[in-house]
Amino acid sequence: MHTIMSQFEPLANASSKDEVMLQVEQIVKSLGFERFLFAVVPKPGAPNAGIFLHSTYPEEWRKYYDSQNLRSDDPTVSHCFKSMSPFIWLPESFQTPEQKRLYEEASSFGLRTGVTLPIHGLSGEVGMLTCVRDELSGQNFRQDLKQNLSSLSLLRDVVCDAMSAYITMEITADKATPKITVRELDCLRWMAIGKTTWEISRILSISEAGVNFHISNLRNKFGVNRRNEVVIKAIRTGIITLP
């Protein structure tokens, strides 16, 4: 235990969130995983709920995941809101057709096996620490996971403590609320539940060009480039709540 805690000391003593995340990346690799994702919602369901997310996943996968709103098909997300136990990434863990397709797509980006550790903080925070590697599931993976799961769970707890102040600061600093129109709010709400431009145009009885115009305005007002970032910013500033 002393050896394990010594390994985590640089993380606990880090002086910035970037340094914390760098230490996490190094520890994750020392425990046999190649990439990780750390995400926390400090106050789920609250009007001003925010999301902190740091990932070393391939950027192209993150862009694809966001653009396709794969969060709604991701079993790790729903699992973390209702469970404390780890979610083990194996082909059989992804059960519905949508989940199987998500797993196949993630695997093509090198996210093939891993574990998601739910976060349930003392102040009501909900989130996850997910560690993955590009390897077919088999005896090696299962043996490594069995050997390192306790260390990964401890890492989850230490990183939560180390990041708590930084998450609060970042969410608080991100609450400037832009003024948006009624039609932009309509588009925003449908975007948040994963509707495509075509679907939103049919729901609101406007053209796809009109929807794209409103989404472009939202990007400019929030100062972001991607649709998913618009939704995240809107949740952080309390304009909409998590669907």
Joined tokens for residue 190 = 């449908």
Q: What are 19-39's pLDDT values in tens digits?
A: 989 999 999 999 999 999 999
Place of tokens 């939704």: 231
Residue type, 12: A
Domain boundaries, the chain: 2-173, 182-236
Helix (H) or strand (E) holding 132: strand 126-133
Domain range 182-236, its CATH number among 1.10.3720.10, 2.30.30.100, 3.40.120.10, 1.10.10.10: 1.10.10.10
At the topology level, CATH places domain 2-173 in Beta-Lactamase (3.30.450)
pTM score: 0.68
**Residue pLDDT, tens place only, 63-120:** 999 888 888 899 999 999 889 999 999 889 999 999 999 999 999 999 999 999 999 8
What the block records as the tokens of 192 is 């948040």
Distance (Å, whole) CA 90 – CA 72: 19
Higher pLDDT, 170 or 211: 211
Q: Take residue 11 and report the two structure tokens written for it.
A: 């993380």
Distances (CA, A) of 186 to 144, 211, 234, 242: 48, 10, 12, 15
DSSP state of 71: G
